[in-house]
Amino acid sequence: MASIDTSGGGFVREAVRNRRILGVALIAAIGGFLFGYDTGVIGGALLFMKKDLGLKTSGQQEMTVAILLLGAVAGAAISGWLADKISRRRTKMISGTVYVIGAFACAFSQSYWQILASRFWLGLAVGTASFVAPMYIAELVPPRIRGGVVSFNQLMITTGILVAYIVDWGFAGFSNNWRWMFGVAAVPGAVLAIGMYFMPFSPRWLVDQGREDDAREVLEKYRLQEDDVEEELAEIKDVAEKEFSLRELLGKGVRRMLVVGVALAIFQQIVGINTVIYYAPTILKFAGQQNTGALTQSVFIGCTNVFFTIVAILLLDKLGRRFFLIAGTSTLTVALVGLGIFFASPGVQHTVGWLALACLLTYIAGFAIGLGPVFWLMISEIFPIQMRGPAMAVCTMFNWGLNFAISYTFLTLTGVITKQGTFWLYAAFAVCAVIFFVTLVPETKDRSLEQIQSDLGADADAALTREREPETARV
C-alpha cells in the first residue's frame, strides 16, 4: 500500500487539478464547520440565555452545554450503523436536516427542558458529522490526499468555532440575541442536506451493496486521467470482502492500536480543551472582563486556533506527528500552570491583568498544533483499512464521552477545588499525556499504513496476512 500524502500542499495542488474533488472537500468542510459552530456557539449564548430561560444553577448551565455532547456520543454510535445501512451520502443528508431542525428548536426554546431536548437533538447531528464526514471523504478521495483532507476537516472545525465566536460577538448587542446565535446555523445545515443530494455515493459502499458498475462510474468521474480506476476498484473489492468482527476488533492483534487511538481520544479531551472552547467568555469574566470584552477576546482565541491549525497542516509532514504532539501538549501544560497562578494570586491579577488572556492564547496554540489535528489524523492512520470504520467509531465515542465528562464538571469543579485547582488538574493530565506520547505513540510520518500497523503490533500484521492468504490463492 502506498504511503499517503498528508500535506496540506498536496491537498491544495490536487484540488486545483481536480475540481470535482474540491466540491466533495467543501461538502466535508460543511460537516466539520457545523461540528465547530454548534459546539462553539454556546459559550457566548450562555451569557444571555441564562436570564431568559432561568438557568439559575451552575449545574443547569453545565447541562445545557454538555447535553449536546451526549447527543454526539449517540450520534456517532447510530451513524456508524446508519452509514452502512442506508449509505454515507444519505446519512449526511439526514444529518444536515437534523441540524436545521435542531437550530430552529434551540432558537425557539422557551424553557430549560426545551433547550436540553433541542441541544441533545443537535448533538445527534454533530456526532454524525464528526464521524461520517471524514469517513465518506476518505472513501471517495484518492489515497494520496486522504491525510490532507482529514487535517482540512480540523481546519473547518476550528473555522466553525471562530465563526460561532464572531456571531456571538456580533449579536451581543441585540435583544433575543442568543436565539439568533443558534438560528443562523440552519443555513449551513440546509446547504449540507441539499449539497449532499448532488454528491455521489461512496464507491466502497456501492461495492458493499454489490453495485460494482456504479462504483466504477463514480471512480471514473472523480479520478484524474493518470489514475488506474480498475486497480483501485480491485483493491476496494478486496477490502470489502473482508469484515472484522467485534471479537477481532477487541482481540490481541489490534489491542495496541486501540490503546493508542483511545488514549489519544481521551487525552485530547482531559487536557481541558473544551472548557476553553465552550467557556472562554466565562473564564475571561472570571478574570475580570465584562460580557462584551469577554466575547471580543474570545474572537482572538478563535483566530489563534485557526491560525495554528494551518501551521500544523503545513508542517505536520515535515516535522512529524510526534514532534507536534509533544511540543504542543508541553506548551499547553505551561499555559495551564500559568492560568492556575493567575487565579491563585490576587496580586498577579492586579499587576498583570492580561496574563489570563495570554495563557488562554498560548494554551489554544499548543492544542491547535498538537492534539487538535493529530488525534483525528492518527486515528485515520493507525488502524488497518478493514477495521478503520468501527475502530474510528469507538475512538470517536470515547472522545465525545470524555468531552461530556470534562465540560459537565468544569463549573462545579472550579467551585469545589477552586479555579486554580481545576487548571492545575488539567495540567497534571497534560503531563501524563506528554509521557504517553514520548513512550508509546509511534511516528506515522512518511510511513505506509502497513509499516505503521507492524510497528504497533506484529499480531495485527499476522491477522492481516491470514486474511489475505485466501485472497492471493484466488488470484
Closest distance to ligand BGC from the beta carbon of 159 (Å): 10
Could you tell me which residues come within 8 angstroms of residue 136 by beta carbon, excluding any fewer than 6 positions away? 28, 83, 88, 89, 92, 202
Q: Which of 49, 6, 2 is nearest to 315 (CA)?
A: 6
Could you tell me which residues come within 8 angstroms of residue 1 by beta carbon, excluding any fewer than 6 positions away? 143, 385, 448, 449, 450
Pairwise CA distance, residues 24 & 137, whole Å: 7
328 near ligand BGC, rule: CB under 6 A: no
Return the C-alpha torsion angle 286, 292, 296, 302, nearest 10.
Answer: 60
**Stretch touching ligand BGC by CB under 6 A, among 89-97, 156-164, 170-178, 342-350:** 156-164
Could you tell me which residues come within 8 angstroms of residue 447 by beta carbon, excluding any fewer than 6 positions away? 3, 455
Closer residue to ligand BGC in complex, CB, 165/376: 376
Q: What mask, x for binding ligand BGC by CB under 6 A, covers residues 46 to 65? A: --------------------
Q: What mask, x for binding ligand BGC by CB under 6 A, covers residues 360 to 389? A: ------------x---x-------------
Q: Which of 184, 268, 220, 215 is nearest to 441 (CA)?
A: 268
96 near ligand BGC, rule: CB under 6 A: no
Pairwise CA distance, residues 128 & 444, whole Å: 27
202 near ligand BGC, rule: CB under 6 A: no
Query: Exactly one of 21, 46, 157, 395 binds ligand BGC (CB under 6 A); which one?
Result: 157
Pairwise CA distance, residues 397 & 81, whole Å: 13
Closest distance to ligand BGC from the beta carbon of 239 (Å): 27
**H or E element in which residue 225 lies:** none
Give long-range contacts, CB 8 A cutoff, 24+ apart: 222-230.
222/18, 222/20, 222/21, 222/24, 222/140, 222/141, 223/142, 224/17, 224/18, 224/142, 227/142
Any alpha helices (H) in 177-320, and if so which ranges? Answer: 177-183, 186-197, 203-208, 212-222, 229-241, 246-250, 255-270, 273-286, 291-319
Closer residue to ligand BGC in complex, CB, 130/414: 130
Backbone angles phi, psi at 301, to 5 degrees: -65, -45
- Give the DSSP per-residue string, 154-175: HHHHHHHHHHHHHHHHHHTTST
Could you tell me which residues come within 8 angstroms of residue 348 by beta carbon, excluding any fewer than 6 positions away? 341, 342, 355
**Stretch touching ligand BGC by CB under 6 A, among 106-114, 270-278, 290-298, 406-414:** 270-278
Query: Exactly one of 274, 297, 380, 422 binds ligand BGC (CB under 6 A); which one?
Result: 274
Closest distance to ligand BGC from the beta carbon of 157 (Å): 5
Closer residue to ligand BGC in complex, CB, 329/403: 403
Chain residues 291-310 in contact with ligand BGC, contact rule CB under 6 A = 305
**Stretch touching ligand BGC by CB under 6 A, among 76-84, 150-158, 344-352, 404-412:** 150-158
39 near ligand BGC, rule: CB under 6 A: yes
Closest distance to ligand BGC from the beta carbon of 309 (Å): 7
Closer residue to ligand BGC in complex, CB, 18/396: 396
Pairwise CA distance, residues 149 & 151, whole Å: 5
Pairwise CA distance, residues 125 & 376, whole Å: 18
Q: Residues binding ligand BGC: what is the number (CB under 6 A)?
A: 14
273 near ligand BGC, rule: CB under 6 A: yes
**Stretch touching ligand BGC by CB under 6 A, among 9-17, 81-89, 236-244, 267-275:** 267-275
**Stretch touching ligand BGC by CB under 6 A, among 119-127, 153-161, 209-217, 324-332:** 153-161
277 near ligand BGC, rule: CB under 6 A: yes
Closest distance to ligand BGC from the beta carbon of 475 (Å): 41
Closer residue to ligand BGC in complex, CB, 327/348: 327
Pairwise CA distance, residues 416 & 410, whole Å: 10
Closest distance to ligand BGC from the beta carbon of 203 (Å): 27
> For the chain, first and last CA: distance in Å?
18
Cβ contact 14:145 at 8 Å: yes
329 near ligand BGC, rule: CB under 6 A: no
Closest distance to ligand BGC from the beta carbon of 371 (Å): 7
Closest distance to ligand BGC from the beta carbon of 28 (Å): 15
**Stretch touching ligand BGC by CB under 6 A, among 81-89, 157-165, 173-181, 440-448:** 157-165
Closest distance to ligand BGC from the beta carbon of 176 (Å): 27
Cβ contact 35:160 at 8 Å: yes
151 near ligand BGC, rule: CB under 6 A: no
403 near ligand BGC, rule: CB under 6 A: yes
Closer residue to ligand BGC in complex, CB, 69/116: 69
Closest distance to ligand BGC from the beta carbon of 260 (Å): 16
Closest distance to ligand BGC from the beta carbon of 215 (Å): 31
Which residue, chain included where needed, has cell 456571531? 167
Binding region for ligand BGC (CB under 6 A): 39, 154, 157-158, 161, 268, 273-274, 277, 305, 372, 376, 399, 403
